[in-house]
Structure 1
Amino acid sequence: MISIFDEGAPAPCPDTFNLTAHVLAHADDLPDKIALAVLSPTGSDRWSYAKLQAAVLGTGTGLLQKGFNPGDILLMRLGNTVEFPITYLAAIAVGLVPVPTSSMLTAPEVAKMVAQLSPAGILHDAGVACPNDTGLPVIDTAELLAMRDLPPADYAMGDPNRLAYIIYTSGTSGNPRAVCHAHRAIWARQMMHDGWYGLHQSDRLLHAGAFNWTFTLGTGLMDPWSVGATALIPAKDVPIEALPLLLKRHDATIFAAAPGVYRKLLNHHENLDLPKLRHGLAAGEKLSTALCDHWRRATGTEIFEAYGMSECSTFISASPDRPATDGSLGRPQKGRRIAILGPDGPVERGEEGTIAIDRNDPGLMLGYYGAQEETEARFQGDWFMTGDHGTMRTDGQIDYAGRGDDMMNAGGYRVSPLEVETVLHHCPGIRDIGVTDVEIKQDTSIVVAFYTADATLPEDALNAFAQQNLARYKQPRAWVRLDSLPTNPNGKLSRKALKPLFLPTKQPD
């Protein structure tokens, strides 16, 4: 039996479609229902569906009045506020193409995006790093706030396969890649509702992430809104240890977070009284059996894991109706066509290979911006190759076998060591550099930089250079000077050989 999962194609996306119109489809029949509550220990900022839709479509009008035209790319440099999803959906509603970016990126990192994309404008919060010499129109948060009260724009309906938004992911070449997604991507996410969330209109889903993280944007906001549920998001200054209070006080039925958040919660709370919580959701890095067991003891509920990537969101997952067993990732969601491939095609079930998804999956990216050859290089025939390895059991469950490349996982973000090395090569005093992630304790990995230099360099200077040029999650948490970097027989850097060379005298903070 070969390793192909195919239980039939999903329902086709309508011929005329708009991502934002789909997300806010319940605004007319549930106008007074709370769509969003931004939570703090002292209260909440509540948004009804009617208020949310008015803000989104008013902002859409404002963006068009600024002279932007359908198809224009807008780079989003906004902070962790509700303005982020409002502006994102507004741009898509009127046919513009937003590029949501992490507020942790540095100005030099953003400058590379500007050079690659040539956006028509930048949407900018003054507290978020951004180059100031781009020559592009800049819309600040005060202007965006004023747009909310403008008359509503009409939805720009059209081909579901047209470009809707662009997100960035680390590239194995060392340069971040701009991933282009179609409007149909939101339609494809319906396969996640049953295949991962167990999501219903009555749910109140609390996502622990920031507004300006794509995991939050999809799982925490757009998916609940698309079914008429309520999204709960902690305010930006709420500490992780306060989340149980918010979960209980606001009757959260589903909790979504990266595995690291679950670990920190359990470090602060041995037992959690969450009577309305049905289950948790996790993605971003592999979830350990030990962490699941700990959560189950503390709450009496399960955590359901999902596997995906920037190019196709999540497509393998466990769910309340189809739980994983023995540490597997779960099963491909119904409607997906997934395979485990070797050099000659699908392998037998039980054999290791590369996890791959069908070229025609409605949630798969359109391609990498301006990089057709690089896009096609990710395919093997009709299959998109994820680069991650796994095995398929006879019942369709997928066991994760690790990365097929050197990609690092930093707090739920996939980071290319080449990208970090390219930047650190310019650090004064460093002759050569190698970067990898190292597990310092169960379920906790950090980015470590190994370098050669004439003498050991001051860590303060190394950290300062990294902070100026790399987003926080890309920065090394430890530095190790070596006489030489280990190489393989072909003379190439061996990152696997670097890992055992890290012998910390203390745990990094």
Structure 2
Amino acid sequence: MALAAVHFLLKIPSATSLWAPLRRSLQLCSRCYPVRASWSYEAIKQQYRLEVPEYFNFARDVLDRWTEVEKEGKKSKNPALWWVDGAGEEVKWSFEELGVLSRKVSNVLSDACSLQWGDRVILILPRIPEWWLVNVACMRTGTVLIPGTQQLTAKDILHRLQKSKAKCIITDESVAPAVDSVGAECQSLKFKLLVSDSHREGWLNFKDLLKNASSDHHCVTTKCQDPMAIYFTSGTTGSPKMTQHSHSSYGIGLTVSGRYWLDLTSSDIFWNTSDTGWAKSAWSSIFSPWIQGACVFVHKMPHFDPRISLSRFPITVFCSPPTAYRMFVQHKLSSYTFKSLRHCVSAGEPINPDVMEEWKAQTGLDIHEGYGQTETVLICGNFKGMKIKPGSMGKPSPEYDVKIIDENSNILPPGKEGDIAIRVKPTRSPFLFTCYADDPEKTEATIRGDFYVTGDRGMMDEDGYFWFVGRADDVINSAGYRIGPFEVESALVEHPAVVESAVVSSPDPIRGEVVKAFIVLTPDYASHDPEKMMKELQDHVKKVTAPYKYPRKMEFVEQLPKTISGKIRRNELRQKEWRKD
């Protein structure tokens, strides 16, 4: 019976018969909750069965079904979305209201913007309710959503518009000027929607259109493997890639995550702090909680202080990168009472075992770490009811066959370090990304033998727990933001003072790791004051690329370590940093 919530989206022969098993599972789930403590990872893994339908659309087959459950009075009174801004404003939408408003947005996309199935839409908005409406509307219309963070620069936006050939961009007043500065170079861009109370020349006003739009909209029919969303990766050795996900990869693939890692029910109020530009926001602010009928809580914080929200609002489940937990444990939490909080989750980067121990000492709650990528759903997790080994990513999700392999695709025994990989032959999981859009060569490069290779290094212990060792691709993970060294190095070299640079991660007590740049200066700048030079280069990087990517640490050197072929040995520099006291 505990598996009913997993099976409601997996054991379905067709979209037309989806509602019956979903309704049965919702009725069963309420009787399953009291037995959470008896959940067994081994039982979940053994009994897991996968049957993906030919047709599936999350908006129609999940969100609209929860609307029916609401009307039947078989769901808690919690809203589907609960948004607060910290200044007294609140928005609470039921699933029915979410459905009505998202259909209106669907008509805005279809009528005012003439968008059709398969057209690509770039969405750059902060944590405001309209972000959720556009996400759902894109599902209803079959348009392909491309989210982006508000920290993108004009250069970043130009690359994404040109690479994706997006027909429409939706953003607010803070980003619109950057879009206008590059719009003339993007011939595919036909429509610009401004989410604002004011108006801007050359832009359609989203709120005006929404106000006048009809709420009568028929959801398009989408196959499971049809493209649903594209997320740009953090460029490591080149430009960011477009990671394409299907309707099934997130809409069905995050079922196990919502039920067994996040431990959500329709009675929960769930807060995920992820930036709206990252795939994790789709994971834990849309699909995982709404599959379970949980309330998605959103706080538009001017300054990040989750202690206040956790003590003021009845949040039951909290998900955040380790940065937030590190901030927590540096302050005594005795003055805060988290009356409703019962389950805590961390993802985005490895969390220090000391932080986990201190958090539990102060709150009595474990932190359940999870591991995944932009290209995947949850790969490994510390599932509810499972013994937690501090520092471990947990055990593989039943949705994947995860192994540690060597360079020849041989499976390594416990205790041996290798590449973390997912078996894709003879059958590729529908819960992996479908491809790097418009780039078959890079898509094929992720396959080694029978496996998709994550690019991360790890090991498995004798008990089947996986342990993260490092990133094979040199990506820097700072406070949950993945930063590619290549992008920062490219920005630095644009400055006339820089001959060459190497960017690596460096340990940081708050962010886990930060960007550090080793820089060789030109003779004309070599004698400049180091502190002033560092500040100038930091400001330069902030202007050229996204502000969060700038090097917080900098070291000026006469030369960089290189291989015989002239390639920079970043590993040597990174190891030097992490050996420091």
Q: Give the TM-score, by structure 1 length.
A: 0.92
Which is bigger in relative contact order (C-alpha 8 A, separation at least 6)? 1
CA distance 1:376–1:59, shift in 2 (3 Å): same
Give the Å deviation of 1:9: 5.9
**Unmatched 5+ residue regions in structure 2?**
1-43, 72-76, 197-204
For 1:152-163, what aligned pairs fall within 5 Å after superposition? 152-163=216-227
Percent identity reads 25
1-structure distance, mates of 2:294, 2:515: 38
Match of 1:318 among 379, 382, 400: 382
Counterpart check, 1:27 vs 2:67 = yes
SS at 2:535 equivalent: helix
SS at 2:173 equivalent: coil
Give the Å deviation of 1:326: 4.4
Give the Å deviation of 1:502: 6.6
Q: 1:48 — aligned with what? A: 94
Match of 1:17 among 56, 76, 80: 56
CA distance 1:6–1:353, shift in 2 (3 Å): farther
For 1:242-281, what aligned pairs fall within 5 Å after superposition? 243-271=306-334, 272-281=336-345
Do the aligned partners of 1:195 and 1:319 also contact (CA within 8 Å) in 2?
Answer: yes
Do the aligned partners of 1:240 and 1:264 also contact (CA within 8 Å) in 2?
Answer: no
2-structure distance, mates of 1:315, 1:195: 13
Match of 2:148 among 97, 101, 108: 101
Aligned pair count? 497
Do the aligned partners of 2:517 and 2:553 also contact (CA within 8 Å) in 1?
Answer: yes
Q: Deviations over 1:339-386 (max 9, x none)?
A: 111133211222221111132222100110111011111111231101
2-structure distance, mates of 1:63, 1:10: 37
1-structure distance, mates of 2:218, 2:193: 21
Do the aligned partners of 1:106 and 1:471 also contact (CA within 8 Å) in 2?
Answer: yes
SS at 1:448 equivalent: strand
2-structure distance, mates of 1:9, 1:500: 41
Match of 2:444 among 369, 376, 381: 376
Match of 1:217 among 258, 272, 282: 282
Match of 1:475 among 522, 547, 550: 550
For 1:51-70, what aligned pairs fall within 5 Å after superposition? 51-65=97-111, 66-70=113-117
CA distance 1:156–1:382, shift in 2 (3 Å): farther
For 1:294-313, what aligned pairs fall within 5 Å after superposition? 294-313=358-377
Q: 2:455 — aligned with what? A: 387
The residue identity in structure 2 corresponding to 1:462 is: L
Give the Å deviation of 1:475: 1.4
The residue identity in structure 1 corresponding to 2:476 is: M
Q: Deviations over 1:136-192 (max 9, x none)?
A: 221211533332652232111221001111001113322111100000012011121
Q: Give the TM-score, by structure 2 length.
A: 0.81
Counterpart check, 1:181 vs 2:245 = yes
The residue identity in structure 1 corresponding to 2:126 is: G
Counterpart check, 1:362 vs 2:466 = no
CA distance 1:492–1:301, shift in 2 (3 Å): same
The structure where strand makes up a greater share of residues is 1
SS at 1:28 equivalent: helix
355-364 or 99-108: bigger deviation: 355-364
Give the Å deviation of 1:43: 5.6
Rg bigger for which structure? 2
For 1:70-219, what aligned pairs fall within 5 Å after superposition? 70-128=117-175, 129-130=178-179, 131-133=182-184, 134-135=186-187, 136=189, 137-142=191-196, 143-145=205-207, 146-147=209-210, 149-185=213-249, 186-219=251-284
The structure where helix makes up a greater share of residues is 2
Do the aligned partners of 2:474 and 2:485 also contact (CA within 8 Å) in 1?
Answer: yes
SS at 1:224 equivalent: helix
1-structure distance, mates of 2:78, 2:459: 44
2-structure distance, mates of 1:15, 1:356: 27
Q: 2:395 — aligned with what? A: 331
Do the aligned partners of 2:476 and 2:514 also contact (CA within 8 Å) in 1?
Answer: no
Give the Å deviation of 1:491: 3.1
1-structure distance, mates of 2:472, 2:488: 19
CA distance 1:309–1:144, shift in 2 (3 Å): same
The residue identity in structure 1 corresponding to 2:560 is: L
Q: 1:506 — aligned with what? A: none
Counterpart check, 1:498 vs 2:570 = no
2-structure distance, mates of 1:332, 1:426: 43
2-structure distance, mates of 1:88, 1:110: 19
The residue identity in structure 1 corresponding to 2:206 is: L
Do the aligned partners of 1:451 and 1:481 also contact (CA within 8 Å) in 2?
Answer: yes
2-structure distance, mates of 1:351, 1:322: 23
Match of 1:226 among 283, 291, 302: 291
Structure 1 consecutive aligned stretches of length 4 or more whose deviation exceeds 6 Å: 500-503
